[in-house]
Amino acid sequence: MIHIFVTLTTPASSLNSESSSGELTLQSLQNEIDDLRADLEEERNRLDVLDLRFTEPKAAFHARVSPIIANATPDEPIIFSQEVTDIGGNYNTSSGEFVAPVDGVYVFFCTILPAWGKIIETNLQVNGGKQMWLYSGGKFRGSGSNLAVLNLSAGDVVNIAKNGIFGTQPFTVHHIWSTFSGFLLQPFYN
Instruction: Measure CA of the first residue to CA of the last residue in the chain; give whole Å.
Output: 27
CB 171 within 8 A of CB 71: yes
Taking the CA atoms of 34, 39, 44 and 46 in sequence, report the sign of the dihedral they define: positive
User: What are the distances in angstroms from CA 51 to CA 134, 168, 184?
Assistant: 40, 53, 18
Give the structural domain span for 177: 60-187
pLDDT value at residue 22: 44
Q: For each successive 10 residues of the chain (190 residues), what is the average pLDDT?
A: 52 51 69 86 77 76 95 94 97 98 97 92 97 89 93 98 91 92 91
pLDDT value at residue 21: 47
CB 180 within 8 A of CB 80: yes
Neighbours of 124 (CB within 10 A): 24
Judged by DSSP in three states, 159 sits in strand
pLDDT value at residue 34: 86
pLDDT value at residue 7: 54
* Claim to verify: residue 51 and residue 64 sit in the same structural domain: no
* Claim to verify: residue 149 and residue 95 sit in the same structural domain: yes
* Claim to verify: residue 104 and residue 143 sit in the same structural domain: yes
- Phi-psi group of 112: left, alpha or beta (phi > 0 → left; psi -120 to 50 → alpha; rest → beta): beta
pLDDT value at residue 1: 47
* Claim to verify: residue 143 and residue 176 sit in the same structural domain: yes
Asked if residue 1 is part of any domain, the answer here is no
* Claim to verify: residue 36 and residue 22 sit in the same structural domain: yes
* Claim to verify: residue 71 and residue 142 sit in the same structural domain: yes
Exposure of 63 by Cβ count < 10 A (0-12 exposed, 13-18 middle, 19+ buried)? buried
Q: How many domains would you assign to the chain?
A: 2
pTM for the complete prediction?
A: 0.71
Q: Where are the alpha helices (DSSP H) in the chain?
A: 12-15, 26-55
* Claim to verify: residue 85 and residue 143 sit in the same structural domain: yes
pLDDT value at residue 51: 64
Q: Give the type of residue at 172.
A: T
pLDDT value at residue 2: 54
Domain boundary among 55, 70, 88: 55
**C-alpha angle 111-114-116 in degrees, rounded to nearest 5:** 135
Asked if residue 6 is part of any domain, the answer here is no
- Cα 144–chain centre separation: 24
* Claim to verify: residue 71 and residue 51 sit in the same structural domain: no
